[in-house]
Amino acid sequence: MEHERKSIVKRKIASLNRILIRKGVKFLEKRPRADRIRLNKVLAWILPIRAIIENAQVRRLNKSSSEPLFELERSKGFCKFKNDERFTNMLVAFAQSAKERHLRGSKSKNNSKDYLRQIWNLSEIDKDSFFILEWAVQANVLKSVSHYFEGKYPLLHEISVFYSPETEVDKLEKWQGSQLFHMDGGGTQCVKIWMLCQDVEPEHGPTVVVSAEQSSRLAKSISYKPGTKLENDAILTNLEKLQTFALTGEKGSWFATDTDRSFHYGSRTTEQSSRLVVMFHYVDNNSSYYMPVLSNHYTKQLKSIPNFSRELLKKSKIAESSLRYRLSD
């Protein structure tokens, strides 16, 4: 009887902890950016060993001979860059193959959005797709992101192949979710690298980004809470002319964006057009995905990378530092 009573108490405590952690995550993610930056400084002060380890990792990365692949200006929060043609062609072919499997019905999507379907992700890495992971954690890519993070070490959070299908007639201009202007609210540092797997024009529903500098000003004027979707574009366009950048171009075009600091939307396709892209998502260790305690909220959502990926980490301390939270035990 006593054992049963203790078991019930433990379950209730565990349930309460989950509720408190979930509330903590939601509270943090909707805080203004300035508040989250202040929290970062507090964490560095109360967790000095964590900060010391990260500083050593950043020094190791900066000592590598690789030149940054791209430069992302903080005032803009977006850029276009060139990448290795052979790797680009291999990645395009891989993404198109994933789309074909999805459309044949042999591959389901991994998320709840029908207008932006994640048809492949990092947890599905195998021997044939390992080249994608190798690229994502090489020094010139990580150094580019770290420079934008102003010294924080970039963590590879996810790699996704996204397919945005044609929009049904009755849903045209009835946008929802990430089809509406918003800023992501996962932390204070975010870089997403995109590669177009087809020619993308405005009718294909490209990601459209407002400059980070203007986004900051607009967010303050409307008391915006990160993660919140704006009901219509006029909330922003009525304030001032938007400085936008659309991720359009030829198949194989590469872009980098900061979707935490910039208003953006995507997947506004038409009846005749669809879109296929690959996205590499990087955050820092103060993202709510990996922050101490709060990261427990995402434990079940973030599937571990297959163990054979350790082969890569044996060869590269730089890669190991970027993937340390995504490896299975």
CA 270/CA 186 separation, integer angstroms:
29
Strands (E), 61-168: 78-81, 117-121, 155-164
List, as one string, the DSSP characters of 3-62: HHHHHHHHHHHHHHHHHHHHHHHHHHHTS-HHHHHHHHHHHHHH-HHHHHHHHHHHHHHH
Structure tokens at 229: 């979707």
Burial class (CB within 10 angstroms; exposed 0-12, middle 13-18, buried 19+) of 68: middle
Percent of the chain scoring above 90 in pLDDT: 62
| pLDDT digit string, tens, across residues 24-53 | 777 777 777 777 778 778 888 888 888 899
What is the overall mean pLDDT for the chain? Answer: 89
The whole model's pTM is what? Answer: 0.91
pLDDT, position 3: 62
pLDDT, position 263: 96
Percent of the chain scoring above 70 in pLDDT: 94
Segment 77-94 mean pLDDT: 97
pLDDT, position 2: 62
Structure tokens at 21: 């952690």
| pLDDT digit string, tens, across residues 95-133 | 999 999 999 987 777 788 899 999 999 989 998 999 999
| pLDDT digit string, tens, across residues 174-232 | 899 999 999 998 766 899 999 999 999 999 999 999 999 999 999 999 999 888 999 99
Q: Are 52 and 127 in contact (CB under 8 A)?
A: no
Domain boundaries of the chain, sorted by first residue: 31-323
Superfamily of structural domain 31-323: q2cbj1_9rhob like domain (2.60.120.620)
